[in-house]
Amino acid sequence: MSCGHEHDDFITQAVIGEKVPPFTMEVYDPEDFGFAEINFEELQKKGKWTILFFYPADFTFVCPTELADLATKHEELKKLGCEVLSVSTDTKFVHLAWKNDERLLKDVKFKMAADPTGEVSDFFGVYDPATGLALRGTFIINPEGVLVSSEVNFYNVGRNADELLRKVEANVYLKDHPAEACPAKWTPGEKTLTPSEKLVGKVYEDINS
């Protein structure tokens, strides 16, 4: 994984608000039933948002429930311009076998990326050297390559794809409305905040106006 960015500074780990350097990963693509390579730079050139959904391992227990949940939101995420990638330190061959064996994964159509060296997982701060596995990390990267959202859970707590979709919707909205901010539990169509000196100490009045 390349660790340079536009100013040639050395980046050792992903940071919210900073650009993510180029990387590639091999994937199993359930839609094409074959192997391919995903290139982060190419996704940027296409104007894609990127969601990296790290999980510990194939053929485990909480993991298929998470991927199945994510699959229920995949089409909505695609309509928002997202490329969704599940990632573990398993190989692409194990991904294929797991997808074929585990019935919970029958609706999974997003690419399943392989990070067997742990290099990408380590860059995003989810690699556990004691086990060689990745923690449950979810990262949202905007079309300019900037990391805008990060969530990391331990092995035993699964995530909620409804909340991931909500966060993507908020980030997509704010990209086009940078002067605004989305309050807690914001969903499309609801009132946003416009930070200014007039809003200081008056958020209640603004939200309820």
Q: Where are the alpha helices (DSSP H) in the chain?
A: 40-45, 62-71, 74-79, 92-101, 119-123, 161-176, 203-207
**Residue 36 bridge partners (DSSP):** 27
Q: Which residue has the tokens 């993991």?
A: 63
List, in sequence order, every beta strand (DSSP E) within 13-160: 24-29, 34-39, 49-54, 82-88, 111-114, 127-128, 133-134, 136-141, 147-153
Residue 66's identity, in one-letter code, is E
Cα 119–chain centre separation: 17
Which of 3, 63, 82, 182 is an active site residue? 63
Specify whether 63 is catalytic: yes
DSSP 128: E
Three-class secondary structure of residue 10 per DSSP = strand
Active site residues: 63
